[in-house]
Every structure is written in C-alpha cells, then in structure tokens.
Amino acid sequence: MVKTKDKRNISFSITGEERIPAIELVSAIQHIQNVIYHIGDYLNGTPNRPKGDFPQVVKDQCTLFITNLEHSSVIADMQIGDDQTGLPGLDGTYGERAIKIASEFIEELSIADPSLNNLHDKIENPHRVNKILKEFDAMWPSAQSKREFNFGFGGNPKKRLNPKQREVIQSLLHTPLHEYEKEVFGRVFEIRVDEKREIQIDTPEGTIKCHYTSDIEDAIREVIGELVTIRGMMVPYKGNFILSIDNEVSIDNVSQYHLKTMKVGGIERELKESVLIDVDFEDDYYIASNDDIGLLAAMPKMTQVVDEIKEELAVLWQEYVAVDENELTASGKDLRKKLISIAGKHNG
C-alpha cells in the first residue's frame, strides 16, 4: 500500500552511459515539472493561456523539490511541498492528484496502441493534453538514444520510458484537435460586426471569445451587456480553441449560475449538489447571491465574484460542518444540514 507521503514523490534515473551531461538532468527535471504544472493548472480550473507563466496557486501546490540526488549516477528523488492539506471528497491534494495523473499518462503512453480518448478522459481539455504530450515528447528518449530513462510516481516502482514509443507520442501530437461541445455562462461585453463576427463573454473561467454567423447578428446585438448561457462548439483556432455558434437557439438570457465547487485555501472541492447563484450586473459590478444559505459577493470581474462565492461557501462549511453540532443553535443546525447536503460531511 502506498503511504500518503509517498503520493507526493517522483523518482527518476538516467543510465546507459558512463557520463551523463548535466543538461540532461536539468532538462528531465524541467519537463516533468512542466507536466505537473500543466495538470495542476487544469485541476485548478484556470483558463487556457497561449503563453505566459503558471499562476502562483499552481506553483504553490505543484512545485517539485529535490530530496535526494546520488552523485555517482543520475538518480534523483523529488517531492511536492509538505505544507499541503487534503480535503474530504478529493483523492489527495492538487499536487498529489497531478502526480497520479502524470503516472497514468505514462502508463497509457507506454502501451503499444495508446488511446487519445483515454488521455482526454483524464484531462478533459484537448489543448492541455497537447501541451502535456509536448513535454513528454521532449523528454522521451528516441530509438537511437543510448540512455535509459526511468520514472516512478507516487511511491510506485520506476518504469522505463520505451524509446519505441517516441514515434507513437509524436503521432498523437500530430492528431488534429477535434471540436467539442461547451456551454458557458457569462456576460456579453464586446462585439465585432466586421468579417470576424466575434463577441467576448466574461465568464467564471475568464474571458471567452465566440464567433457567430451573420444570420444571427441581430440576436447577438440584443444580448450585448446581458447575462446569458451560450451553447456551442469549441473549435481549433490559431493554436487555441474558440467558441462558435450558428443558431440563436444556442443563446438564453439567464441570470443564475450553477456553482459546482467551493474553494478552500486555493483548492477547488467538488460539491455533492450544485448551488444556484443569482447573478446581477449593476454599476460595473457583478452581484452574486444565494439567500437560502446566506451568500453575497460583489466584484468587477465574473471570475472574482464566483471565486468570492466559492470561498464564502467554504467558510460556512468550516463554521457549521467542521464543528461539534452540539455547539450550534437550532438555526445553525438547519444550515448545517443544508451545507452537508451540498458539500458533504467532514470525515476526518
């Protein structure tokens, strides 16, 4: 059985030659660190970025530290920080989950005929899967390499990276990114009516660009400044994805958001039941609320107001669920029951 502390560990070795260039060690560490960052970035729910650094919350949860380095050969052990805490309902911290998924990626990439669909089941975002594959491709030894790379994740035995699989990984990388369906909630705040026909939507994920067809331009104009739900296809566009719609039925005026997670210490925790949040936009501020359990927040950005609501819900959960029930008033016990039905009960 793997110990909890071991779930934070990654070990690797480079053998096959008497002298291994130091740059090989540095490169391997950098690529596996980037893999963990990309996965942690996805688990954190941050939107795709074509370029730029990883958010600090991802670095805090997923930065690897070298805990052992054998000088006689290139053998290294690394571990994510010890100051992380797990949450009920989640299989470990962000960092531990990222290490587990990285291990599952290597398992899939090591079989004769790996499935891109299986990788997408682990990371439900084709663009992020592509970024992770690029890191593995960069560190995976080629068929001509005399060096042998071995990686072990989460306390499991090290596994050799088979050089024959390098071409397979590259073929997966060259597989065209496919369209996928997506529904977004947010406020339409900008429109282009030239040949690009593009709107921008301020959503809980950040700003999302959306292309529309000319025949629904009138319907698009009517929702400028409004809160809406838009259903469409995410299609590859200039190395990223962009939402595309061609039917006005895809647009609904909606002022309620289904909250599906709460945030504790920067870590997302999935809820057992979604919470309906009323959202309004007044005087350049979003106002989000739920009167039933007493949530209220006001922020200038959709991401900010949703994050604030997530944190408020987590505070309520800590104050009314993670305490002795006998210390609560009658109304407090009623709220506790509601919170348990929404977020579950702390089980130690």
DSSP state string for 162-177? -GGGHHHHHHHHTSPP
Rounded Cα gap, residues 328 and 313, in angstroms:
18
283: left (phi over 0), alpha (psi -120 to 50) or beta: left
Residue 104 pLDDT exceeds 90 = yes
Phi, psi of 22 (to 5 degrees): -60, -30
Is the whole-model pTM more than 0.85?
Answer: no
List pLDDT tens digits, range 283-298: 999 999 999 999 999 9
Helix or strand holding residue 284 (H, E): none
Residue 302 pLDDT exceeds 90 = yes
pLDDT computed for residue 25 by the predictor: 82
Residue 348 pLDDT exceeds 50 = no
* β-pair type (251-253, 240-245): unpaired
Domains observed in the chain: 5-173 (no CATH), 180-253 (2.40.50.140), 256-343 (no CATH)
Q: Is 126 exposed, middle or buried (0-12, 13-18, 19+ CB in 10 A)?
A: buried
Phi, psi of 29 (to 5 degrees): -65, -45
List, in sequence order, every beta strand (DSSP E) within 291-343. 295-299
Q: For residue 8, how many other CB atoms are within 10 A of its CB?
A: 23
